[in-house]
Amino acid sequence: MVRHKKEKISYNGIMRKRNHYSAELKTKVVLELLSEASTVSELAAKYDVSPVMITRWKQEFLERASDVFKKGTSDTEKELEEKEAHIADLERKVGQLTYEVDWLKKKSTEIYKYMLNILIICPFIHCVTCKFRTIVCKYFLR
């Protein structure tokens, strides 16, 4: 027994893009609706928006209207502060790591130059007595 028939969905070759409306437009439409100057149908025709969409905007607007008068920081402000603190922390870490990389580059060139000086003074790698240029390699004294 088949309860639901599956219908084929036809494709007409035109893909519709999803519309994105600005907050200003949404507010303007909802305020016009709340002022009762025009009906949902009239506003839908005027702004070329679905009446269902206008009704959703109105519901969302009325649900969040009380947030305007709340004292203290809102959830979005708290999230923003947390993200800003996180960004500041990351910037400090980047600065510290940049400083460390620069220091390591400087030290690596110093060590490289030091090793070259040792090899110039004493071509024998196994010679342990070579430290700085002031000490003469024992192999040159023979």
- Segments making up each domain of the chain, as ranges: 19-67, 84-142
Question: 64-86, pLDDT tens digit by residue?
Answer: 888 777 776 777 888 999 999 99
User: Which residue would you say has higher pLDDT here, 68 or 133?
Assistant: 68
- What predicted TM-score, i.e. pTM, was given to this entire model? 0.43
Euclidean distance between the first and final Cα of the chain, in Å? 106
pLDDT of residue 71: 73
Give 29's contacts (C-beta < 8 A, 6+ positions apart). Answer: 43, 47, 49, 54, 57
Report DSSP state, residue 114. H
Question: 3-59, pLDDT tens digit by residue?
Answer: 444 444 455 556 666 778 888 889 899 999 998 888 899 998 988 888 999 999 999
| Maximum Cα interatomic distance, the chain, rounded to a whole number of Å | 109
User: Which residue would you say has higher pLDDT here, 112 or 14?
Assistant: 112
Give 44's contacts (C-beta < 8 A, 6+ positions apart). Answer: 50, 51, 53, 54
pLDDT of residue 68: 75
